[in-house]
Structure 1
Amino acid sequence: MLEADSSCFKWNQEKRYLWTSVLFGGLSMLAKETGITVFPLNLVFDMYLSWPSIKEAIYEAKWSKETQQFTSRSFKILASLGLLLCARLALLQGSLPKFSPQDNPTAFHPSFAVRFLTFCYLAAFNWWLLLCPATLSHDWQMGSIPLVTSVTDSRNLVTFLFFICALLLVIRSLMDFESQKHSPLVLGLLLLVIPFIPATNLLVTVGFVVAERVLYIPSLGCILLVVYGMKILWNTYPRNRPTLNGLIAFLIVMSSLRTVVRNRDWRSRESLLRSGLSILPHNAKMHYNYANFLRDSSSVELARMHYKRALKLWPTYASAYNNLGTLLANESEAESHFLSAIHYSSDHINAHYNLGQLYRKLNRTSEATYMLKRCIKLDPTFTLAYLELARLKGSSDLSVGPLLEQVVSVNSDDSYYILLYAHWLLSKGRRHSALIFYSKALSVNPSYQPALLGTLRVLKKLGQSSRLFQLQNRFYSLNRQRRGEIQLPHTFLEDLQIKSELIGKARLYDGHVSDSKDKRNATSPNISSKYSSLLSSYCEKSNKKPATTGEVKSLTKPSKSNLTIQKSSTFCLV
């Protein structure tokens, strides 16, 4: 009875371990795709531990309880793996990411021999990074590691040594399936190999040459193998234990120092980029990223130099052509660089936009219009192209309305763009439509003063005095809150205070009007009419919007301080 209870408890405990492993495997997959490899890793290691019963079932046709439990666990793991893969593909909208030759030059090389030799060397290079992380970089794209184009390349010797060591470990692990005396060796090899398989380009093409982030799980296997190897040496050669102690201390000290140095590299953007350039001076993307940093730091000449260096290392680098074009004062040279960017990357939206900006500046209206429409065709959500096309047409053109309406539909949660369309509607005399969009801007941001002032302006023209007074109370309350003034405890007292302020401002305004040469005849001393005149003057001057961050990086951020459609020469960078 006790034996049955113990067996049942052990079975339930194994089930909890299994589903806990599935849960954490799914969470790791959401963090990084390589997390999905823990499922085949668990399956293979479980097969290793259950090999005696599996072997008995295969050769002697005996289906034991252990074999049944292994089959059940395997089915659950494979089913969980399938479901998680489907979920991951659903997150990717049913298609795998697409990469370009600059992301992974080896995968796009036409020669199979070059691809094979280079991929094999990259596996050995990653193994060496685990053992000796001397050369670390945050980016290994674009020719960071030259292709292995010949069998006589000296790097093939490193590849050969690596695969010999790997083959010996595999043979030793397979031999241990029978005795199962070296389970740390088997587990270490599985941790080293299986999680690295997705990065080998065997299953799918990846978007990197080397990525240190995919070595997190393999590093566990490397540590386990090193520690287990030292344990074997410790037990086999007791006389050499002082030497082993010195070697362990040396590894700990060197790894700690390397960690300290690498942490310093990550202290700032500049230090990280400088470190990458010192490690990979032949990496075009390193020069490109450093040029972007120099551009942001207003070091224009140095930025141009590094952009040109990036183009020299990678002549088809479209983004480098585009960004360099934004720094050139010569308009013909800038046009040439934008055209080169479009030539090497026909769907480069920012290059089309920048070229449209340049053509507008040169009064080449038809070409500018074509480029901006091309931007919208490439990306219907590219807001800057809509706005620039509206500026190009001019606010008097009725076709501007649909453009601004599209901007509002794309940016339905941005009160600025809604306000821009409302202003345009008001300028065309469509007051009721303008009021709707002013109200929509206030629903997005209730404390947005330009939208509040625009609403007041429309209500004044529509003659809705009661709503006008309510909103003016709200306007003054917002101003008091921003100035940190104490709010009055009763609404009636607050309204009375506002009336007093309005009377004083209206009298002051009447005094200025009476002193001017083009003085108009004041027909009514009504507070509301005087405030409305004052408000109209204030509204024309108060067209400001709080600074917001955008997805598109630019050399000079498009100003939102002016809510009318004006011409702009802002270039869009990558």
Structure 2
Amino acid sequence: MFPNTLSFDWGMDAVPRITSLRDSRNLVSCLFYVFLVFIVKDAVRSVILTRKPVLRPAYNARDSCVVCQPSTYNHHHHHHHHQHHDLQQHTASCRTSNNNNTTQFHSSSCVCTSKDTLHHYHRHLRTVRNDQAAILSLAFLVLPFIPATNLLYYVGFVMAERVLYMPSVGLCLLLGLSSAALWNSYRRYRLVFVCAFVTVLVAFSARTVLRNLDWKSEEALYRSAIPINPPKAYGNLGSILSSQGRADEAERAFRMALDFRPNMADVHYNLSIDLNRLL
């Protein structure tokens, strides 16, 4: 959502854990879960509990139907707007019967619906489809993340980018659905939405370019993470410097890592090898 702080690794308490109910971050978590429950409840109610509207006929007789009467239909053939309107208000059985020139046709099978009924029916279909898309987005957002939450079993880490790829798909879908809803509901402010979208797109593109510079080499990547995760970044940086023959710089990096986290056995081992090379 706000990729200002990025790191190749979020272990070793790079993200401080919540240990008290008075932590202000609990409020954000509560708001997220309330929002999640609200979306799920509304979507499930619309898809499962809402009854499909019935197409009630405006008239139900073959004699009064424009499309069912070939002579009347041909008479109005030059009126393209009325023809299109009549075809839209016809049921599939009625159109099929006329297209196949069926002689045996029952008036009960021709149901010509009113314009208001069709509008309500199509609006219901759009709502159901949007709610189905919302449920799918929430499934992408929640289900792939559950195994990595430490709720079912211990996984050994608090957060990792590798487990956020599939949930990010759900987040992007939800943002798209929300944007479409705002676009259709607030037509007066569409210019504002376009400006905001372009601003976010440019900002994210610039952040991507800057982040690609960090991934240009391993040394640049580990140096970029020093302010975020010092022990891990210094430990990996020392290994890279040692492999390049820069023993003095590697020693300083190893010692900096141990200053932040003295119990890292692998850093102690790498430091001993580096000191042995300096002898």
Structures share a fold, TM > 0.5? Answer: yes
Structure 1 equivalent of residue 232 of structure 2: 285
Secondary structure of 2:17 counterpart: coil
Measured after TM superposition, the shift of residue 323 of structure 1 is 1.2
Distance 2:43 2:262 in 1: 48
Measured after TM superposition, the shift of residue 240 of structure 1 is 0.7
Amino acid at match of 2:33: F
Structure 1 equivalent of residue 155 of structure 2: 206
Distance 1:244 1:226 in 2: 13
Question: 1:264 aligned to 194, 213, 219, which one?
Answer: 213
Contact kept, 8 Å, 2:10 with 2:160, in 1: the verdict is yes
Secondary structure of 2:15 counterpart: coil
Structure 2 equivalent of residue 306 of structure 1: 253
Per-residue deviation, residues 341-385 of structure 1 (Å, max 9, x unmatched): xxxxxxxxxxxxxxxxxxxxxxxxxxxxxxxxxxxxxxxxxxxxx
1:326 aligns with 2:196: no
TM-score by length of 2: 0.66
1:193 aligns with 2:142: yes
Structure 1 equivalent of residue 30 of structure 2: 160
1:297 aligns with 2:244: yes
Structure 1 equivalent of residue 99 of structure 2: none
Contact kept, 8 Å, 1:288 with 1:320, in 2: the verdict is yes
Measured after TM superposition, the shift of residue 265 of structure 1 is 1.3
Contact kept, 8 Å, 1:283 with 1:313, in 2: the verdict is yes
Structure 1 equivalent of residue 194 of structure 2: 245
Amino acid at match of 1:199: A
Identical columns (%): 39
Q: Which residues of structure 1 form unaligned runs of 5+?
A: 1-130, 330-554, 557-568, 570-574
Q: Which residues of structure 2 form unaligned runs of 5+?
A: 51-127
Measured after TM superposition, the shift of residue 316 of structure 1 is 1.5
Distance 2:216 2:156 in 1: 26
Distance 1:155 1:305 in 2: 36
Distance 1:132 1:237 in 2: 25
What is the CA RMSD across the aligned residues, in angstroms? 2.2
Amino acid at match of 1:257: A
Amino acid at match of 2:244: S
Per-residue deviation, residues 441-499 of structure 1 (Å, max 9, x unmatched): xxxxxxxxxxxxxxxxxxxxxxxxxxxxxxxxxxxxxxxxxxxxxxxxxxxxxxxxxxx
Question: 1:225 aligned to 163, 166, 174, which one?
Answer: 174
Amino acid at match of 1:305: R
Per-residue deviation, residues 249-288 of structure 1 (Å, max 9, x unmatched): 112112211221122211111111111224x1x4411110
Distance 2:248 2:25 in 1: 38
Distance 1:273 1:292 in 2: 10
Structure of greater relative contact order (alpha carbons < 8 Å, 6+ residues apart):
2
Based on CA coordinates, which of the two structures has the bigger radius of gyration? Answer: 1
Structure 1 equivalent of residue 84 of structure 2: none
Contact kept, 8 Å, 2:149 with 2:158, in 1: the verdict is no
Distance 1:247 1:304 in 2: 48
Distance 2:47 2:255 in 1: 57
Counterparts of 1:434-449 in structure 2, within 5 Å, are: none
Distance 1:296 1:230 in 2: 49
Higher helix share: 1
Per-residue deviation, residues 273-323 of structure 1 (Å, max 9, x unmatched): 111224x1x441111001112222333233222222222222221111111
Structure 1 equivalent of residue 75 of structure 2: none
Distance 1:133 1:172 in 2: 30
TM-score by length of 1: 0.33
Contact kept, 8 Å, 2:222 with 2:237, in 1: the verdict is yes
Measured after TM superposition, the shift of residue 208 of structure 1 is 3.1
Structure 2 equivalent of residue 490 of structure 1: none
